[in-house]
Structure 1
Amino acid sequence: MTAYNTAYNDEKAARALLVRTARSLFTRGLTHGSTGNLSVRLADGSLLLTPTGSSLGTVEEADLSRTDLTGRHLDGPRPTKEAFLHAAFYRSRPSVHAVVHLHSTHATAVSCLDGVDSADALPPLTAYYAMRVGTLPLLPYHAPGDSSLEPLAERTARTHHAILLANHGPVVAGATLEKASDAIEELEETAKLHLLLRGHATRPLTPEQAAALATGPS
């Protein structure tokens, strides 16, 4: 199997990092109940993911699942039913080594609004949003775990490292788990600002200002 240039050469350390990150996201209210899932790509190309039905607040290192890039279960408990979304991002973006999917409140609220621009669901209200997220396509509604979303997600991931699933929540890929987590948190805060400012005249960054700041997932 092809080796990847990644920080996640040590599976034990990667498991510890996934659990620490999951706890942090949960305790800070960025996800709830048994929603949300995280993954990293290991040096051998396999994926380490949170399992189906688990809470990011209580998941343990021994609970994590491992799949290949097609989503085939290799070992551990059964992976999240949205493992195909993670695999789609990794296949499309060889430079990323982590994916975070949350049902964070404000981003999910934006995904439920009528009239959202499907090409870019949030305006670039802040410089950090432009740097860490960029444009945010809104993908049409599919039931959680509906693998018919996979081809569309894979195509979209070729040009965007962040997407918003209609009536569902955001998915963000990054070069590291820290970067993916920072980006999805920035997305959530921008969604909150967007909702707070509804009905007010806003002054987003210009396309030129946003383009000058865009850096992608690395």
Structure 2
Amino acid sequence: MIAPKTRQELVDAGARIAAAGMSPGSSGNISMREGDRVVMSPTGADLAALRADELSVLDLGGTLLSGPRPSKEFPFHRAFYRRAPATAAVVHVHSLKATAVSCTPPWSAHSAVPPLTPYFVMRVGQTPLIPYADPGDAAQADAIEALRFPFRAALLQNHGSIAAGTTIHEAVETAVELEQTCAVLLSLGEKRFQPLEAAAVSRLAERYSSPWT
């Protein structure tokens, strides 16, 4: 049983993501974990029009317990829940700027996006690029789970972004900040840019308990 409050929080998060223009059409999916259960947006759902009584409920193994068929991209979400027990929410979107950056070579092995602003380091942290796999292919989820360094967001190559948090609010904030940083990166074009100095990145990451290797 998923609490009505949890269901409503997921619906409200979907509406916020859609209002920000980060989930065009029926793209993207979001979930929250409550104990050993996950409540998730159904397959093909418009995040702007989710209904609290029409959400998918699964166990952590991926078995549908109630509601409509879930998104085929549930393995992405499960990978983040398995990586960190504190993770309580996951947001996956096909937002324009993050998707565009996911089509370019990564800045480093640990982060596709450079530390351009303090807020990226504070709110997102290192964001690896996960190699391409077809939508729904468990290979990408396996790749997420296999990485041995900490992160709470990733770019999926030629696909979009995924972000996790200890609350749905935190996961949404992480996805929004990642999109904003990708927008800054794209706006620089071919110009040379100056990322934050390593000392500043380390200081911010430690102060805000943000993952940065």
Q: TM-score, normalised by structure 1?
A: 0.90
| Deviations 1:128-155, CA, capped at 9 Å, x for gaps | 1001111111011111111122221112
Alignment partner, residue 23 of structure 1: 15
Give the length in aligned residue pairs.
208
Q: Do the aligned partners of 1:118 and 1:139 also contact (CA within 8 Å) in 2?
A: no
Secondary structure class of the residue paired with 2:113:
coil
- State the alpha-carbon separation in 2 of the partners of residues 163 and 175 from structure 1: 16
Q: Where do 5+ consecutive residues of structure 2 fail to align?
A: none
Residues 93 and 158 in structure 1, CA contact (< 8 A), matched pair in contact too: no
Alignment of 1:59-78 (within 5 A): 59-78=50-69
* Percentage identity across paired residues of the two chains: 40
Determine the structure 1 residue equivalent to 2:5: 13
Q: CA deviation at 1:88?
A: 1.1
Secondary structure of 1:205's aligned partner: coil
Going from structure 1 to structure 2, the CA distance change for 1:180 and 1:193 (only over 3 Å counts) comes to: same
- 1:116 and 1:175 mapped to 2: Cα distance? 27
Superposed CA deviations along residues 142-187 of structure 1, whole A, max 9, x for unmatched, are: 1111112222111238621111100001111101110111011000
Match of 1:5 in 2: none
Equivalent in 184, 199, 204 of residue 175 of structure 2:
184
1:7-64 alpha-carbon deviations (Å, 9 max, x no partner):
xx9610011111111011102201111111111111x321111011111011211121
Tell me, yes or no, if structure 1 residue 39 matches structure 2 residue 40. no
- Aligned residue type for 1:160: F
Q: Which runs of 4+ in 1 moved over 3 A?
A: 114-118
Give the unaligned 5+ runs of structure 1.
1-8
The equivalent residue for 1:198 is 189
TM-score normalised by structure 2 residue count: 0.92
